[in-house]
Amino acid sequence: MRIIVSIVLGISFMVFSCSPQKRISVSLGGEAASPTSLCDSFTIYKSLYINKINANMEFEGETYNARLSLYYIPDSVFFITAVNSGFEIVRLGISRDSFVYINRLDKLVYIYRDSEMGYPPPILFQDMENLINRQKICDSGKLSMIEENKLIVDNSSQDISKKIYYSSPDLGVVNFEFFQKKTGEYIVGEKKQEGSFVFYSNYLIDDVTLEASGGEIEFDRDVSVDLYVNPDKYEIIHL
pLDDT for res 71: 94
CA distances from 32 to 27, 130, 140, 150, 164 (A): 10, 22, 21, 10, 19
Closest CA to 94 of 4, 204, 13, 175: 13
User: 60-102 pLDDT, tens per residue?
Assistant: 677 778 888 899 999 999 998 988 888 898 898 988 888 888 9
- Class for domain 2-22+33-238, per CATH? mainly beta
- CA–chain centroid gap for 235, Å, is 27
User: 184-200 pLDDT, tens per residue?
Assistant: 988 888 888 777 788 88
**Maximal C-alpha separation, the chain:** 65
